[in-house]
Structure 1
Amino acid sequence: MSTITIIFYFLSAITLASAFLTIYSRNPIHSAIYLVICMMSIVGHYLMFNAQFLALVQLIVYAGAIMVLFLFTIMLMNLNKEDEVHKPRITRLGAIVVFILMSVVLVTVFINSKTIMGEYDVTGEDFQSIKALGKILLNEYMVPFEFASILLLVAMMGVVLLSKKEKTEKK
């Protein structure tokens, strides 16, 4: 077995284990941490596929910004054990059964699939570099890029306004 294959299987095991722990953990903070670990292992997969831009976007946007939003929401909700409704054991057992069935289906699909053998068409152009993507993004798609940034800014301002608590006046 080659080193790349071993690294792939190791990252896959981390991804699957942390995804399962994200779902199965009782503590929402622990679930968020397991989700960050899962997203970081996906960054490793992207790097193995030589997709540096996707790896950086995964790291910055998902593992960084989205997880900060998740943790902010979890802390705002102030989840307490006393207020939490406990799910019956049959629900948890059903989730485990569905997880095992889905895993069996996915494993059989991967085992029975055939790899595509053939030559790749090489044009000589570099489509995966950040430099090429930056040129396209900031030349041809400048207006949609700016609209997306304004949309994110307005959404962030809306979150701040919604999460701000009203001050009560004392007389």
Structure 2
Amino acid sequence: MHSVLYLIITFFAIGGHYLLMNAEFLFVVHIIVYAGAIMVLFLYVIMLLNLNQESEPHKSTVLKFAATICGGLLLLILVAAFKGADQLPAAATEHTVGYVKSLGMVLFTEYLLPFEITSVLLLAAMVGAVMLGKPERLNKG
């Protein structure tokens, strides 16, 4: 359960990168889809499996110590790499990159046919799921 909660924090951190790139729409979709829907599925599977600490094999102290040393070395390498990196150039000079209006314009002009095909495919999948989920009616006659 703790890992799932930390994964949600990670998703928010990734969403923060979208905000830094002026992609507010991607941020909102990322949070709704991943931190919302996907994490609910993860929690459902974890609860369905009913894992407990007694069934997990115990790790030795040497393995825990080695993992801590490896994690610390990785952190040290990342800090050294970022310290030596130069200032990153601006991603784009245009200020409309990542906004919903510009995304909608591109989606409904250049990619209209794939967008419509996807919408029909999703509609067919939704109708199929409803039809499969309905109980069969008994013929009384």
TM-score (norm 1): 0.59
Mapping of 1:125-144 within 5 angstroms?
126-144=96-114
Aligned residue for 1:85, secondary structure, equals coil
Aligned residue for 1:50, secondary structure, equals coil
- 1:57 & 1:116 partners in 2: Cα distance? 26
Give the greater-gyration-radius structure (CA).
2
Aligned-residue identity in percent: 40
Amino acid at match of 1:83: S
- Segments of 5+ residues of structure 2 without an aligned counterpart are 134-141
Which structure has more RCO (C-alpha within 8 Å, separation ≥ 6)?
2
Q: CA deviation at 1:40?
A: 1.9
Matched, 1:53 2:25: yes
Mapping of 1:86-105 within 5 angstroms?
86-105=58-77
- Residue 80 of structure 2 is matched in structure 1 by 108
Q: Residue deviations 1:101-154, cap 9 Å, x none?
A: 11111100001111146x8774x572311122123234433454454964xx59
Aligned residue for 2:96, secondary structure, equals coil
- Residue 35 of structure 1 is matched in structure 2 by 7
Quickly say closer, same or farther: Cα 1:120–1:103, change in 2 above 3 A: closer
2:22, 2:99 within 8 Å by CA — same for their partners in 1? Answer: no
- Segments of 5+ residues of structure 1 without an aligned counterpart are 1-28, 162-171
Alignment RMSD (CA, Å): 3.0
Q: CA deviation at 1:37?
A: 2.0
Of 35, 40, 47 in structure 2, the residue corresponding to residue 68 of structure 1 is 40
- 1:79 & 1:121 partners in 2: Cα distance? 47
Amino acid at match of 1:79: L
What is the number of equivalent residue pairs in this alignment? 124
Q: CA deviation at 1:34?
A: 1.8
2:15, 2:30 within 8 Å by CA — same for their partners in 1? Answer: yes
- 2:53 & 2:92 partners in 1: Cα distance? 57
TM-score (norm 2): 0.69
Quickly say closer, same or farther: Cα 1:33–1:88, change in 2 above 3 A: same
2:23, 2:97 within 8 Å by CA — same for their partners in 1? Answer: no
